[in-house]
Chain A
């Protein structure tokens, strides 16, 4: 089970790998589309990589609700507990 800090760091790593963005830029209040300029194709790639990294399932219909990095951290954290 990963802590929220570990999930955020893991996501930052995935985002960096996919987009080249510095991991420090992946802050909790940042919007994937508006702040990090991540398009839908990159977002799906990030989601699938996060599923593998954290051993969770993020249904396609949930992805649109993950607006900020914090949303994703919370979702993954809850999914790990559930």
Chain B
């Protein structure tokens, strides 16, 4: 029998809240984190997309100036969320050699990389500072968190585009089940609201162009959805072997009951139109958690609000859950937060854990005319989840054909 893995700490910094309580309050109310960008580079480069969802509280409000100076913004966000989760878990006297970190990112230190390139071209190689390397490396967030919290059982960085954050939980459960760690700080961070990624995602036709109305731009499942809204931030969860948590009398939010990761091997960016890879991930995660499709009451969907992405996820849910899909309430929280890329899975895992713990599903905003091809029961106003034993899923999919699903069960 595999060790049970429970969740004992939560942290987040997002466009709808700089900590978990604020984010959750807003997620139940239904707010948009998207705003017009005021930066001079928007006009300078004539960007086709002029808005994004920035974190609502800057990292400088939490980190000291000196700390922040030596960290890429993605690492700063990781640190803010990890410290909140760690304080929430309140673990004392931990064997640090049994404590690991798995902190994901989709892109890594893109601000640092591109700033250094600008410096090189404008001022020459001497001015490219030595901290550039540790700041731009994609394992920067995992390394900084491990250094800060004293984790010595390994600091890992899952990278799978927009599935990265969810893969950190997949890795975390494996580490604990395999007996390689008793506690894992899992999470994801992203800070890519920079003109280059905005230009590149625009070129892919992936971003919404609703420049005149940012707050209504992220509209998963709506017939008029036209792309995702770039977000930023981080989410973090403290995973703990159940016996370890029980022995110290910890507050337990829920069980990470199972996970699965699959790859499409279909196309570098397009999702398999039938959602076959996603279906296998859903079925795999249910099997891993030893639960039946009928046990699922809630799904935090990947649902980015792109015309091509939302539908295959529905196909996959229908295939994996069968007719029961009609009895499952679905939340598309990217309607509020925007798409946090490599952080999205971690932030949505936090929301899914809270949905199960508080038995309330977060809200999907901007759903005015639901796409008739996606007849899901979408949560658009306050919705209580049933009492008794319940299970919720969170899905993440990434460019490259990455599919990751986690299963959360009440305790």
Q: Do A and B come from one complex?
A: yes
B66 (CB) vs chain A CBs: closest residue: A20
Cβ of B44 < 8 Å from any Cβ of A?
A: no
- Assess the A45–B65 pair: CB atoms within 8 A: no
Complex contacts, A48 vs chain B, CB 8 Å: 126-127, 129
Type the 1/0 row for A1-42, where 1 means its CB is closer than 8 Å to any CB of B: 000000000000000001110000000000000000000110
Main secondary structure of the interface of B (DSSP, over half): helix
Q: CB distance B130 to A20 under 8 Å?
A: no
Contact, CB under 8 Å: A44 / B130? yes
Any A CB within 8 A of the CB of B64: yes
Binding site secondary structure of chain A: helix
B131 at the interface (CB under 8 A from A): yes
A47 shortest CB reach to chain B, Å: 10
| Residue in chain B with minimal CB distance to A20 | B66
A52 adjacent to B131 (CB under 8 Å): no
For B64, the chain A residues whose CB sits under 8 A away are: 20
Judge whether A45 and B131 touch: CB under 8 Å: yes
Interface residues on chain B, size class:
10 to 19
- In the bound assembly, the distance between CA atoms of A20 and B69 in angstroms comes to 10
Residue of B nearest to A17 (CB): B69
B110-142 Cβ-contact flags toward A at 8 Å (1 or 0): 000000000000000011011100100000000
Q: Out of B65, B69, B126, name the residue touching A51 (CB < 8 Å).
A: B126
B65 touches A20 (CB 8 A): yes
Cβ A41 vs Cβ B127 within 8 A = no
Question: Which residue of the partner chain, among A19, A45, A51, A52, contacts B130 with CB atoms under 8 Å?
Answer: A45
Q: Please, which residue of chain A has its CB at the minimum distance from the CB of B133?
A: A41
Closest chain B CB from A27 CB (angstroms): 20
Pairwise interchain contact A19-B66, C-beta atoms closer than 8 A: yes
- Which B residue's beta carbon lies closest to that of A52? B127
Q: Which residues of B contact A41 (CB under 8 A)?
A: 130-131, 134
- 1/0 per residue, CB under 8 A from A, across B62-75: the answer is 00111001000000
Contact B127 A45 (CB under 8 A): no
Which chain B residues border A20 with CB–CB below 8 Å?
64-66
Give every chain B residue within 8 A of A18 (Cβ-Cβ). Answer: 66, 69
Chain A hits for B134, CB < 8 A: 41
Residues of B close to A40: CB separation below 8 A: 130
Residue ID in chain B nearest A49 by CB atoms: B129
Cα-based distance from A69 to B366 in the complex (angstroms): 60
Closest chain B CB from A53 CB (angstroms): 12
- Interface code A39-64, partner B: CB below 8 Å = 1, 0 otherwise? 01100110010011000000000000
Q: B50-90: which residues lie under 8 A (CB-CB) from chain A?
A: 64-66, 69
Bound state CA distance, A42 and B269, in angstroms?
41
Residues of B contacting A19 in the complex (Cβ-Cβ under 8 angstroms):
66
Residue of A nearest to B65 (CB): A20
Give Cα distance in the complex from A41 to B126, angstroms.
14
Mark out the residues of chain B between 219 and 277 whose CB falls within 8 Å of any chain A CB in the assembled complex: none
Instruction: Tell me, in angstroms, the Cα distance from A44 to B277 when the chains sit together.
Output: 49
Alpha-carbon gap, A45 to B128, bound state (A) = 9
- Report B-chain residues with C-beta under 8 Å of the C-beta of A52: 127
| 0 or 1 for each of B23-65: is its CB under 8 Å from A? (1 = yes) | 0000000000000000000000000000000000000000011
User: How far apart sit A18 and B130, CA to CA, in the bound complex (Å)?
Assistant: 12
In the bound assembly, the distance between CA atoms of A51 and B35 in angstroms comes to: 41
Query: How far apart sit A6 and B127, CA to CA, in the bound complex (Å)?
Result: 23
Closest to A57 in B: B126
A48 to B131 CA separation, bound complex (whole angstroms): 12
Instruction: Compute how far the CA of A28 lies from the CA of B64 in the bound complex, rounded to whole angstroms.
Output: 27
**How close is B134's CB to chain A, nearest CB, in angstroms?**
8
Complex: A20 Cα to B64 Cα, angstroms: 9
Q: Which chain A residue shows the least CB distance to B67?
A: A20
Looking across the interface, which residue of chain B has its beta carbon closest to that of A60? B126
Chain B residues with CB under 8 Å of A44's CB are 129-130
Distance (whole angstroms) from the CB of B60 to the closest CB of chain A: 14
Cβ contacts under 8 Å, A45 to chain B:
129-131
- Chain B's nearest CB lies how many Å from the CB of A6? 23
A51 to B126, CA, bound (A): 10
Tell me how far the C-beta of A32 lies from the nearest C-beta in chain B, rounded to whole angstroms. Answer: 15
What residue of chain A has the Cβ atom nearest to residue B64's Cβ?
A20
Q: Would you mind naming 20 contact pairs between A and B with Cβ atoms under 8 Å apart?
A: A18-B66, A18-B69, A19-B66, A20-B64, A20-B65, A20-B66, A40-B130, A41-B130, A41-B131, A41-B134, A44-B129, A44-B130, A45-B129, A45-B130, A45-B131, A48-B126, A48-B127, A48-B129, A51-B126, A52-B127
6 additional A-B residue pairs with CB within 8 Å, beyond A18-B69, A20-B64: A20-B65, A41-B134, A44-B129, A45-B129, A45-B130, A52-B127
Nearest first, the 3 closest Cβ-Cβ pairs linking A and B are A20-B66, A44-B130, A41-B130
